[in-house]
Amino acid sequence: MSDIIEYTDEVQELFVRFLISDSDLFARTQAILKPEYFSYRFQKTIVFVLEHVTNHAVLPTFDQIAAVTRIKYELLSDITENHQEWFLDEFETFCRRMAYKGAVIKSSEMLDTDEWVGIEDVIKQAAQVALVRDLGLDYFSDPRARLDYIRNQAGATSTGWKTIDDKLYGGVNRGELTLIAGCSGAGKSVFLQNFAVNWALAGLNVVYISLELSEQLISLRLDSMVTGIATREVMRNIDDVELKVKIRSKTAGKLRVKYMPSGSPVNAIRAYIKEYEIQSDIKVDAILVDYLDLLMPSSIKVNPSDMFIKDKYVSEELRNIAMELQLLMVSASQLNRSGVDEHEYSQANIAGGISKVMTCDNLIGIFTSNAMRERGRYQLQFLKTRSSSGVGSKIDLGFNIDTLRVSDLEDGDTDAFTASSNSIVDQLRRNNSMTPGPGRQEPANAIDESLRLRDFIKKKPLN
């Protein structure tokens, strides 16, 4: 608690004397030192000292200050370590209080001009006024404690798919933003819903935010994923669905589905999470946002057609929520036109440009084809993994078209590309099973040729 009740001119003059008498104190407080925090009498002194240090890398002498500002300050001699600590504590409190005071005045002015969108940022900036006290991690001091903390406190959370976890060194981390990218109709929403089910059944409290599909449609899909009953059969088996959902709920976490209109600001999500946690008395562990491209930033007014700027701020604000609330955050993004016909995606294929790619921690592309869908296969391509070395790798997952459940492939299952090449071989088998005509080889030879073609396709890399 501060010893000073009121920051009079006498107190402010004392602060100035500390700053110009001790170069170390000035250097430690320079980041939060602003002339507007002081009364008019001392503002010219602070401006001059800041400019002099910037231009000449040294504090001005007392004679220089007196000549420029016409104020004579007395040197503070014999400043002890205890004096320094008192000054640092009091000066930090003074700067933060003045920052809050300025933020309140500026906020009232913004309200008068209907610029309410940026008020939160003004308050946040005032709250962030603080001296640097945390000097970071001493790498060599205690390796075991450091590694135990990572393992016990900051460990990754499993996605529910072992093959994905292996590429991400155990799963995804709280405070990070993971993006699922794919073409329209590729299954982005289905993947997000599978994420939600995996985490809820693992005991986490999950919120699924939809800016596109209704709460009822999403819940119907979740019914099928949780119970294993085909989506087209759910309404015919309401009793079974109800029983199975209630049984699973006994060991599962909470799963809340919330619809928000397209174009909602990111802060609407933050406000909803706060309200939900207060009313339900639970801590949210994960948020799935379906999907990022449909959100608008809260911190700045942007033209919706300027996707680069819009997505930059939206992705940053989503990640800030994940960091602030220490939860898992997964969303989705469309591919641009250049990625529609591609078999291998790159960061350049993401709609809106590189802005959201730079912000997210994990970027995973979804690829599928008609042949792969027929055999229940999806391919995931890892385009960015900040906490692992999985970039550039691909994995295949199974997909149940009836229950919409995405799962790891079982041992012995062929991967997606093999499934595609096998479908070509099967077609060749059928075409060559007829009686050979003039100039055609025997069926057995045709099958041999098709088998050789299959082996060739399997060995040939995708373009």
Domain boundaries, the chain: 9-127, 151-413, 417-459
Tokens standing for residue 368: 């599928």
Is residue 3 over pLDDT 90? no
- Residue 431 token pair: 């075409």
Entry field: residues in the chain? 463
Dump pLDDT digits (tens) for 291-333.
788 888 877 777 777 778 888 888 888 999 999 898 999 998 8
Q: Is the whole model's pTM more than 0.75, yes or no?
A: no
Q: What is the DSSP string of 56-112?
A: HSSPPPHHHHHHHHS-------S--HHHHHHHHHHHHHHHHHHHHHHHHHHHHHHHH
Lowest mean pLDDT, pick from 190-199, 321-330, 362-371: 362-371
Q: What is the pLDDT of residue 413?
A: 65
* Per-chain mean pLDDT for the chain: 83
> Which residues are bridge partners to 178 per DSSP?
330, 362
The beta-strand segments (E) located in 335-460 are 362-367, 377-385, 394-399, 406-408
What per-residue string of b and e applies to 342-351 under the rule 16 or more CB within 10 Å gives b?
Answer: bebbebebbb
Helices 416-431 + 443-459 axis angle, to 10: 160
User: Among 209-213, 269-273, 357-361, 414-418, which stretch is predicted with the lowest mean pLDDT?
Assistant: 414-418
- Section 388-396 average pLDDT: 84
User: Does residue 213 register a pLDDT over 60?
Assistant: yes
Proportion of the chain above pLDDT 70, given as a percent: 83
**3-class DSSP state of 256:** strand
Tell me: pLDDT of 443 over 60: no
- Dist. CA 418–CA 412, nearest whole Å: 12
Query: What are the tens digits of pLDDT across the range 106-161?
Result: 888 888 776 666 777 788 788 888 888 777 778 888 888 877 766 665 568 888 98
Summarize the confidence of residues 16-34 as an average pLDDT.
94
Domain 151-413 belongs in CATH node 3.40.50.300: yes
> pLDDT tens-digit profile of 60-95?
999 999 999 999 999 998 899 999 999 999 999 999
